Amino acid sequence: MQFRLFFFLFFSCMFFACGDNDPVPSSTVPDLPLSYRDGITRLSDDSLAFVLFAPGKKNVYLVGDFNDWQVLDEYKMEKNGDRFHIKIGNLVAGKEYTCQYLVDNNVLIADPYANKISDPWNDKDISPAIYPNLIKYPSGKTNGIAMTVSSQTDNYNWKIDNYTITNPQNLIIYEILIRDFTAQRSIKGVQEKLPYLKALGVNAIELMPFNEFEANDSWGYNPSFYFAPDKAYGTSADYKAFIDECHANGMAVIMDMVLNHSYGQSPMVKMYQTDGTVTTDNPWYNVTSPNTSYSWGYDFNHESPCTQQFVDSVCAYWIKEYKIDGYRFDFTKGFTNKPGDGQAYDESRINILKRMTDEIRKRKKDAIVIFEHLADNSEEKILAEHGIFLWGNLNYNMNEATMGYIQNSDLSWASYKQRGWPTPNLVAYMESHDEERIMFKNTAYGKSVNGYDVKELATALKRTEAAAVIFLSIPGPKMIWQFGELGYDFPLEGNGADRLSKKPIRWDYYDEPNRKALYDVYAQMIALRKNNPVFATSDYTIDLTHNFKYIVLKSPEETVVAMANFDVIPVTKDVLFGTAGNWKEHFTKTEITTISDTEAIILNPGEYRLYFKE
């Protein structure tokens, strides 16, 4: 088995999901027809081939609508080494069928590579408005999740066939949870809001996981099937139309992908499981997670060639079939078998992650690869040097600044240069799905001195404007969590809120003047970043440690100085402008003249300025 799997890794085309795709070389799957590959393969208008990789299993039967769910000898799959395969014909062209594998006469599963599933528990709750004509689960015929198959070809006609990301190190990424973004709670609903996002200046959308996850109401970090878009948000065509429209509007689409773990509905778990624990012969998962602090579900063994092949197949599939532009990988710190909490430098993990990234870029050379790593900087530096982008969490320190608590408000780690990285591959963010909202904490816990009260809504929003100016002046890609630009202030958890629960959708905030003012600051800053190369310069200095924070950006053509006072009292600061001359403030259009490299500037609490040298 091991020899064949290593051979498979290096020589296969690494694409095995349903559809008309390049065939796998016959040498990778001995004794199988050339066109067969893991999963379901369309052979003609009336025939399909099924291949299940199941090392150590004795027999597999295909049961489904086409044989009235009977275990019949003619549907017993032929065993070739570690794979079982069968071809079925006489299907009605374009008709959908549900079916399952019966493994060793005791486990019913859907194919791990299925691009659509039939769920006995959750499909009935999906509205026809979101998924019209959804095939009904065959109740009374079987149990557990089944796969939905068809010999029909994909008929989606792409408008944008080959979208290219031109400047990945200046991305403005907007993170979206489809469920909580629009009243429709669907991918079509998100598509309707693309004009809003384009006006804001967003050039990349990061969708939280939308491959099939357990149940319908979820963040998506409980994945079950990796090749199927979750029906709770729409049809396959809906997702493709959304991505196509994003590309037409100059926006890349980044898919949040969970390959650290999966849960009990995964067929790869179910095939090798006893009393809720995976068995030692499971080709993909560790029996127990080596991470002593952070573990969820069933832990992938990323040192296994079987897991590596599966990972490469997943990543290749979405790039080819859905034209995804890249991935944000959840908890990459867990992609290791080294015991511990994952924080320390880990060379084995570096090698695993580099290999995965290289395989992705064989399929799409400009693919964006982002890691939620948050590990030792020495390791993140090596990954950044390999062209990988890494999440940079500013939430706590930035929120301390906006609340007026200066002691823990150092923002220096938002600078890739401060980390010693040679490239701006740091995706800094003030908020994400995992972090508390800036505005909630401002209004709940903000500091108050002599009548200046951060808890007051207008004051809290103004201080968030200051945060946006500083945040968006730092070179390198940035991420905005949905509605951050409107000062969303419903808590992540606490005050009656559950972390994973549905959150209020507040598009009405756009019509509130103080919140719209925050949106306008975001939009102006993003436009400046796009139109002024100085915001991408490597020649910049920062002073982000104290109450009065500033950044000086320099290019041969321009010098820009951003500054803000996060104290709750007026502060005077000697700002190193770097040159004497005339300066114009962007927001107020007021002008000053500096007579030396350094100028004393007085800012009121929460005040910010953005000076351009004239």
pTM, full prediction: 0.94
Read off the tokens for 129. Answer: 């408005």
Instruction: Identify whether residues 533 and 560 lie together within a single domain.
Output: no
- What residue ranges in 168-287 does DSSP mark as E strands? 172-176, 204-207, 252-257, 261-262, 273-274, 277-278
Q: Domain range holding 339?
A: 171-260+305-537
Taking alpha carbons only, the member of 283, 317, 319, 313 closest to residue 301 is: 283
Instruction: Identify whether residues 487 and 354 lie together within a single domain.
Output: yes
Amino acid at 105: N
pLDDT of residue 106: 95
State percent of the chain over pLDDT 70: 95
Instruction: Identify whether residues 451 and 326 lie together within a single domain.
Output: yes
Instruction: Identify whether residues 533 and 557 lie together within a single domain.
Output: no
H or E element at residue 447: none
Q: How far apart are the C-alpha atoms of 496 and 307, rounded to whole Å? A: 40
Read off the tokens for 612. Answer: 């351009």
- What do you get for the CA distance between the two ends of the chain, in Å? 69
* Residue 298, in any domain of the structure: no
* Residue 289, in any domain of the structure: no
Domain count of the fold of the chain: 3
Instruction: Identify whether residues 404 and 490 lie together within a single domain.
Output: yes
Instruction: Identify whether residues 516 and 556 lie together within a single domain.
Output: no
* Residue 481, in any domain of the structure: yes
C-alpha dihedral, 63 to 65 to 70 to 75, nearest 10°: -50
Which residues face 172 on adjacent strands?
478
* Residue 275, in any domain of the structure: no
pLDDT of residue 35: 80
Q: How far apart are the C-alpha atoms of 28 and 14, rounded to whole Å? A: 10
pLDDT of residue 31: 67
- Neighbouring C-beta atoms of residue 582, cutoff 10 Å: 12
Residue whose token pair is 């109450």: 547
C-alpha dihedral, 259 to 262 to 267 to 269, nearest 10°: 110
3-state SS assignment for residue 413: helix
Q: How far apart are the C-alpha atoms of 106 and 552, rounded to whole Å? A: 67
Q: How far apart are the C-alpha atoms of 209 and 261, rounded to whole Å? A: 13
Say how many CA atoms lie within 13 Å of 612 toward its Cβ: 15
Instruction: Identify whether residues 122 and 188 lie together within a single domain.
Output: no
Distances from the Cα of 374 to the Cα of 160, 289, 379, 530, angstroms:
35, 19, 10, 28
* Residue 268, in any domain of the structure: no
537, 563, 594 — which closes off a domain? 537
- What residue ranges in 104-138 does DSSP mark as E strands? 107-109, 117-118
Instruction: Identify whether residues 562 and 515 lie together within a single domain.
Output: no
473, 502, 537 — which closes off a domain? 537
* Residue 267, in any domain of the structure: no
* Residue 299, in any domain of the structure: no
Q: Write the DSSP symbol of residue 139.
A: B
The CATH number assigned to the domain holding 433 equals 3.20.20.80
The CATH number assigned to the domain holding 88 equals 2.60.40.10
Complete DSSP assignment for 428-490: EES--TTS--HHHHHHHH--EETTEETTSHHHHHHHHHHHHHHHHHSSS-EEEETTGGGT--S
**Spacing of C-alpha 488 from chain mean position:** 21
- Residue 349 backbone dihedrals phi, psi, to 5 degrees: -70, -40
- Neighbouring C-beta atoms of residue 374, cutoff 10 Å: 15
Taking alpha carbons only, the member of 18, 20, 23, 52 closest to residue 36 is: 23
Instruction: Identify whether residues 422 and 484 lie together within a single domain.
Output: yes
pLDDT of residue 8: 35
Read off the tokens for 371. Answer: 């890691």
Q: How far apart are the C-alpha atoms of 553 and 560, rounded to whole Å? A: 5
Instruction: Identify whether residues 241 and 313 lie together within a single domain.
Output: yes
Read off the tokens for 102. Answer: 């019966």
Which residues face 593 on adjacent strands?
582
Taking alpha carbons only, the member of 573, 580, 575, 565 closest to residue 613 is: 580
The CATH number assigned to the domain holding 593 equals 2.60.40.1180
Q: How far apart are the C-alpha atoms of 392 and 53, rounded to whole Å? A: 38
Instruction: Identify whether residues 464 and 551 lie together within a single domain.
Output: no
For residue 269, give every residue at least 6 positions away whose Cβ sits within 8 Å of its Cβ, in sequence order, or none: 262, 263, 278, 282, 285, 298
pLDDT of residue 3: 32
Q: Divide the 614 residues of the chain into consecutive groups of 10 and give the mean pLDDT of each group.
A: 33 35 35 85 95 98 97 97 96 96 98 98 97 97 98 93 93 98 97 98 98 97 98 98 98 98 97 95 97 95 98 98 98 97 97 98 97 97 98 98 98 98 98 98 97 98 98 98 98 89 97 98 98 97 98 96 98 97 98 97 98 97
- Residues 504-523 as b/e (b if ≥16 CB within 10 A, e otherwise) read ebeeebeebeebbebbebbe
Positive or negative: CA dihedral 304, 306, 307, 308: positive
* Residue 290, in any domain of the structure: no
The answer to whether 206 and 175 are in contact (CB under 8 A) is: yes
118, 149, 180 — which closes off a domain? 149
- Neighbouring C-beta atoms of residue 140, cutoff 10 Å: 7
Whole-number mean pLDDT of the chain? Answer: 94
Instruction: Identify whether residues 184 and 230 lie together within a single domain.
Output: yes
